[in-house]
Structure 1
Amino acid sequence: MNDSLPSGARRESDLVGASVRSADTLVDDYDVPEVLHQLAAHCVDLLNVSAAGLMLSDQRGSLQLVASSNERTRVLELFQIQTEEGPCVDSFRTGVVVVVADLSAAMERWPVFTPQALAQGFSAVHAVPMRLRGEVIGSLNLFNQRPGRLSAEDTQVARALADIATIGILQERTIRQSEVLTEQLQGALNSRITIEQAKGLLAQAGGLDMEQAFQALRRYARSRHARMSETAHALVSGRLRPDAVLKQGHTDAV
């Protein structure tokens, strides 16, 4: 972040930088889980929100969680999927933006989801569909600890970031053949499962919480210029020892 700039110019500079970094991942081969985790982090950095998460549809049309900015959001997103209730599910099903400025007033609309969201400390949510040419493949979900709507500018930025991720997943070469699209989306979902397993291994080995374990996994992959999903697979399959990953994280912290 360039702190020497005025706040408005600094935010614009940060947005351009985020767009460039996201666009860089779309050239040739790219790691879908990393793109989506990066998008969640960009949303928290650039928008006036506390947390972000992303869901993708699998080949059966069911939603699956693929990225979240923190552990609380991950739990809440999984709860929505399990109960098939909530703003993120509605946004995916309808293909429109769902805005809830005050969750305490949404008890009747989502009687199961709303108490859980409030218990997690969230007071407002904005869900943005990930869509291209009428096809909705998931939703980008923004949670806030404070009640209130996003500004028109922030809503536009959220839509732009969601579009970048959607285009990355549905590149022209993947939308020409539905088989390729299905394989790529399913690969992203399978990678998410492997990453969760790897997080569990690291958490147990290092006495970490799940968020700390994820950061250790990500740091190790980046230090080796490797895909996070490949590093996770190496951990789960036993080709990579947890202590090697944790040692890298400790070295970086020194």
Structure 2
Amino acid sequence: MSRERRLTQVFVELADTLVDEFDLVDFLGMLAEATVELLSVDAAGLMLADDHGVLHVMASSDDQTELLELFELQQDQGPCLDAFRTGQPVIDADISRWPEFAATATAGGYLSAHALPLRLRGKIIGAMNLFRCDVAPLDPDEAALGQALADMATIGLLHEREMRGYIELTAQLEHALDSRVVIEQAKGMLAERTGLTLAAAFTTMRSHARRTGQGLTTVARAVLDGSLQTCALPAH
């Protein structure tokens, strides 16, 4: 399948999630994974800020990337933070400009990084991290596509805000962060029960959510409270 056709398919799939059972955490996770698939990058992640300007990791294409993003926040340095603070894309940056971040990124196999700001009505509300395992530029077309994907995250935020009547971004993020905790707990429980890897357990829950038209968080809660039996989940 050509990238152009796959791009159209991805945008249709993302648009299809904007329904009554919309799940922001699932939406952002899909977006991170689609970004890796469509761009010449090896990993991606999304951070969002609350009303106090504090960034939170909201989605990552894999667990290793999530740990790197958490470290970036802990050390208060890295491409995503720069994109958030300046409101400008960070493209083809030499990661050595962030010494502590660079050491951890390199240890994880990432040699270059980019970041794109997320904007909401002129306000910077977060950023998207892009990581590569080699040192290579991100061409202008890919940077533009990356920004379009980052803008999809903002669309998801606006959609959920309208659905749930949120007034403050902080309340919206608190709900999303609570959902992340539930999903992580369910993922671990399912992996322990079935012998699946954490990644496979997550894919299993997501597949069931898609097949049944439920939100991923709803499925995760059902796994935790036992109302969804393991045998009812698709095999992987």
Q: TM-score, normalised by structure 2?
A: 0.89
1:205 aligns with 2:205: no
Cα deviation, residue 172, structure 1: 9.9
Q: Residue 80 of structure 2 contacts residue 128 of structure 2 at CA under 8 Å; is this kept in 1? A: yes
CA distance in 2, matches of 1:53, 1:81: 13
Q: 2:174 aligns with which of 186, 193, 206?
A: 186
What residue number does 1:66 align with? 58
Q: Residue 55 of structure 1 contacts residue 66 of structure 1 at CA under 8 Å; is this kept in 2? A: yes
Query: What is the alpha-carbon root mean square deviation over aligned residues?
Result: 2.3
Give the letter aligned to residue 143 of structure 2. T
1:155 aligns with 2:143: yes
CA distance in 2, matches of 1:82, 1:217: 30
Structure 1 pair 111–171 and aligned structure 2 pair: CA distance change class (3 A): same
1:212-254 Cα distance to aligned partner (Å, 9 max, x none):
221122122222221101111222344334x346xx232xx4x
1:35-73 Cα distance to aligned partner (Å, 9 max, x none):
111111211111111111111123443222121111211
Q: 1:130 aligns with which of 118, 121, 129?
A: 118
Q: Residue 60 of structure 2 contacts residue 66 of structure 2 at CA under 8 Å; is this kept in 1? A: yes
CA distance in 1, matches of 2:26, 2:173: 14
Q: Residue 101 of structure 1 contacts residue 148 of structure 1 at CA under 8 Å; is this kept in 2? A: no
The residue correspondences of 1:206-221 to structure 2 (distance < 5 A) are 206-221=194-209
Q: 1:99 aligns with which of 91, 95, 100?
A: 91
Q: Helix, strand or coil for the counterpart of 1:170?
A: helix
Give the letter aligned to residue 221 of structure 1. A
What residue number does 1:5 align with? none
Q: Which moved more, 1:50-59 or 1:150-159?
A: 50-59
Q: Residue 125 of structure 1 contacts residue 143 of structure 1 at CA under 8 Å; is this kept in 2? A: yes
Q: TM-score, normalised by structure 1?
A: 0.83
4+ long deviations beyond 4 Å:
171-174
Q: Residue 59 of structure 1 contacts residue 186 of structure 1 at CA under 8 Å; is this kept in 2? A: no
Q: Residue 88 of structure 2 contacts residue 116 of structure 2 at CA under 8 Å; is this kept in 1? A: yes
CA distance in 2, matches of 1:71, 1:172: 25
Unaligned runs of 5+ in 1: 2-9
Q: Residue 101 of structure 1 contacts residue 123 of structure 1 at CA under 8 Å; is this kept in 2? A: no
What residue number does 2:234 align with? 249
CA distance in 2, matches of 1:135, 1:128: 14
What residue number does 2:48 align with? 56
What residue number does 2:34 align with? 42
CA distance in 2, matches of 1:161, 1:194: 26
Identical counterparts, % of pairs: 45
Number of aligned residues? 235
Unaligned runs of 5+ in 2: none
